[in-house]
Amino acid sequence: KYIQDDKQSMTVWKNTATLAKTTCDMVSEILGGGTPKTDATYNNQKKDVLSIQAEIVVVDKAKLEELVKNGDFSQDDIDNAK
């Protein structure tokens, strides 16, 4: 809503549907006795943790309109955001 109302210039967004699918794929691989494919490592101050990097989308006013057109968000969701 702040982007639409010109109170904020941009934000970053990760598609939660993609995050959920990636998580389910990883869990299925583990439950099947395998090791999930990873593409990144993060150090948590104790060890290196394998991870998968999610796509980050920079959302500005133009991209917000595109996300609405693609069905990622509805205009009502944006208009009624608090």
Please tell me which residue, 20 or 1, carries the higher pLDDT value. Answer: 20
Q: What is the mean pLDDT of residues 13-24?
A: 93
Cβ-proximal residues to 73 (8 Å cutoff; 6+ apart), any chain: 64, 67
Over the stretch 40-49, which tens digit does the pLDDT of each residue have? 999 999 999 9
Q: Please, what's the b/e burial string for 29-66 (b: 16 or more CB within 10 A of its CB; e: otherwise)?
A: eeeeeeeeeeeeeeeeeeeeeeeeeeeeeebeeeebee
Show the CA angle centred on residue 15, arms to residues 47 and 5, nearest 5°.
Answer: 120
Entry pTM: 0.69
Please tell me which residue, 33 or 68, carries the higher pLDDT value. Answer: 33
Q: What is the mean pLDDT of residues 10-24?
A: 93
Mean pLDDT of the chain: 91
Measured CA to CA, the distance from residue 6 to residue 27 in angstroms comes to 41
Identify the pLDDT of residue 68: 87
